[in-house]
Chains A and B, each alone.
Chain A
């Protein structure tokens, strides 16, 4: 069965510090992987995605993520966090197929940034 685990419910980091949000997935085939960000009261915005090829993918707002097949992980990183990065982050996995790509989401990690 498909599943996504985000083990950290809440993370607090200082502004300017580095960030790593963890995501582990269980999927029966090679997946598509996504990271979304949600600011309070807003919808979800795509940060980055992995379909194939280079396992290190770059996204918007200075984020990157690395796909590690052997560890079934797709961790999100940012070298220097800004106060505006405070939000909730969701990892999602979907099928590699044409057509409807029903995504399975993790439960999210809430990021707090302190001055």
Chain B
């Protein structure tokens, strides 16, 4: 399995509080992604990174920000969590060495009350 960890694995937070989710990889892959998974929607891309300090928006980026200060870590921040951001969040990585196949982390279940 690809070396991808996500922390925390579960979190319950209140509306209006800031939340940061962390994705850590040990594969030295260039590209990293954040998705959210919701029933009836499959997975939707929030943000992605194509290198250190290089990020771009995905399909559902409103209310989220990201940062990547080093290759191995990609942080997803909810500045002011809302109930609509209750979801399961997955991190993924890819690289040319693996034909850009995406490997997924175990997920973080976030509940905003």
Contact = CB atoms under 8 A, between A and B. Distances in A.
B11 to A, nearest CB: 16
A90 interface: yes
Nearest to A43: B104
A42 interface: yes
A5 to B, nearest CB: 11
Contact of B102 (A4, A6, A103): A103
A43 B94 contact: no
B64 interface: no
Contact of A100 (B31, B43, B44): B31
Nearest to B90: A43
Contacts of B104: 36, 43-45
The 8 A-B residue pairs with the shortest CB-CB distance, nearest first, are A105-B42, A43-B104, A44-B104, A105-B43, A101-B100, A107-B42, A43-B106, A100-B31
Interface of B: 31, 33, 35, 40-45, 48, 50, 56, 58-59, 90, 94, 96, 99-107
Interface of A: 4, 6, 32, 34, 36, 42-46, 49, 51, 90, 92, 94, 98-108
5 contacts: A32-B100, A46-B101, A98-B96, A100-B31, A102-B58
